[in-house]
Copies of this chain bind each other. A is one copy, B any other.
Amino acid sequence: MITLLSDFGLTGPYVAAMKGVILSLNPDARIVDISHGIGPQGVDEGAYVLHQAYPFFPRGTIHVCVVDPGVGGQRAVLAVQAAGHIFLAPDNGILKYVYQDDPGFRAFQVVQPEFRRGKVSGTFHGRDIFAPAAGHLSLGVSPDSLGPPCREPVVRPVPELRVESGKASGEIVFFDRFGNAVTNIPRSLLPAGARASVQVRGIWMQGIVNSYSAARPGEFAAVFGSGETIEIAVREDNARRKGSLEIGDAVQVEWSLPGSR
């Protein structure tokens, strides 16, 4: 099984060309799109979307991640074994969360010419390097056959989380289509039974609910989201627009246990 993630969009011929190359090598490959709507050259956005999707695929799935502003330049192409999955990606940090998930990951540079298209363009490695490598991996080629180990892959900073006693501060890392703001503050920080309040851009929300439908219509609410972090939502409305929220906005949560002060 092979998944694809890119910033190519679905209008042009690029995603289809990659699929054609894969299926020409392995007509039985199962190909699933994760997203092709990552913002142009949005490496951090791609990293986040990949991280929220890949764990739900079967072990052994090959995830092809082509958000690649450095295509044709000096950056390496990597094949990474981690968390029971295989990843093909430019060495630009798009796998930063994967490395966090499995610090014992193994990375290899994709350089062996027999696993590329005969002619490699300088502008479309998705078709000429990533897709053929995915096809060969899906046929049983081992990642370490593609080239030598990569000792120090590029790592990009992940959004910062600061935790103190009874307090944590993080940030908005993603907006879904409904305008809900996903943060990087994990649900697991909060002790069971804690009373919590959450703040973004001066908007305070009392309590954290378990579903959007437990919030009051039209008011900002903090919700435990499906990625096991706190989200900020407005029921029947769009929190992003209503609060003029942006990626990177600071979010605070404070909590106390009943009876404590």
* A180 shortest CB reach to chain B, Å: 8
Q: CA–CA, A213 to B122, complex, Å?
A: 9
Q: Which residues of B contact A74 (CB under 8 A)?
A: 213
CB distance A123 to B40 under 8 Å? no
Q: Which residues does chain B contribute within 8 Å of A13, judged by CB atoms?
A: 34-35, 48-53
Interface centre among A19, A27, A52, A213 (most CB of B within 10 A): A213
| Contact between A123 and B56, CB atoms less than 8 A apart | no
Find residues 168-218 in chain A having any chain B CB closer than 8 Å to their own CB. Answer: 174, 176-178, 209-214
Q: A52-B13, A71-B213 are in contact. Are A23 and B121 (CB under 8 A)?
A: no
Q: Are A210 and B12 in contact (CB under 8 A)?
A: no
CB contact under 8 A between A17 and B213, given known A12-B176, A121-B226: no
Indicate whether A105 reaches chain B with its CB closer than 8 angstroms.
Answer: no
Which of B17, B24, B123 contacts A53 (CB under 8 A)? B17
> Is A109 engaged at the interface, CB distance under 8 Å to the other chain?
no
Say whether A36 faces chain B, with CB atoms less than 8 Å apart. Answer: yes
Chain B residues with Cβ under 8 A from A53's Cβ?
13, 16-17, 20
Cα of A211 to Cα of B10 in the assembled complex, Å = 22
Q: A10, B36: Cβ atoms under 8 Å?
A: yes
Give the complex CA separation of A73 and B213 in angstroms: 5
Q: Are A211 and B35 in contact (CB under 8 A)?
A: no
Does A37 sit at the interface, judged by CB under 8 A?
yes
**Which of these, B8, B21, B37, B214, contacts A73 with CB under 8 Å?**
B214
Interface pair B224/A56, CB less than 8 Å apart: no
Tell me if A123 and B226 are in contact (CB < 8 A): yes
| B213 in contact with A56 (CB, 8 Å) | no
Q: Do the beta carbons of A16 and B3 come within 8 Å of each other?
A: yes
Using CB atoms, name the residue of chain B closest to A225: B123
Residues on B with beta carbons closer than 8 Å to the beta carbon of A94: none
Inter-chain contacts of A91 with B (CB < 8 A):
none
User: B-facing mask of A202-244, CB < 8 A → 1, else 0?
Assistant: 0000000111111000000001111000010000101000000
Report how far A11 CA is from B16 CA in the complex, Å.
17
Chain B residues near A52 (CB-CB < 8 A): 12-13, 17
Scan residues 120-163 of chain A and give those whose CB is less than 8 A from a CB of chain B: 121-124, 127-128
Given contacts A20-B57, A123-B223, 19 further A-B contacts (CB under 8 A): A8-B176, A10-B33, A10-B35, A11-B37, A11-B177, A13-B53, A20-B32, A20-B61, A27-B58, A69-B213, A71-B213, A72-B210, A73-B211, A73-B213, A122-B210, A122-B223, A122-B224, A123-B231, A124-B226
